[in-house]
Amino acid sequence: MELPPKFYVILVLFAVTFLINLPFGYARAKAKRYSFRWFLCIHVPIPFIFLARTFSHVELKYIPFFALAALIGQVLGGRLEL
């Protein structure tokens, strides 16, 4: 059973979304809650994810998967201890 090429595009975008959010989650955990820096750590990755999704022509119905990847990246990045 061969998977369609679109599946791999979505999988790569999921991974990219996760990886983009890891360092921002780490920085968010170090920032004071509800400060401007904390706000930026959450929202700065969004345009990059939007551009990646738009340029890859992925439909809107996959946005919840990317939101989940962003959430997981933020949470796990916040738990990183370097």
pTM metric for this prediction = 0.92
Work out the angle at residue 54's Cα, subtended by the Cα atoms of residues 43 and 68, and round it to the nearest 5 degrees.
50
DSSP class of 32: P
pLDDT, one tens digit per residue, over 1-49 is: 888 989 999 999 999 999 999 999 999 999 999 999 999 999 999 999 9
What residue segments make up the domains of the chain, in order of their start? 5-79
Q: What phi and psi values does residue 67 have, to the nearest 5 degrees?
A: -65, -40
Q: Is the CB of residue 66 less than 8 Å from the CB of residue 74?
A: no
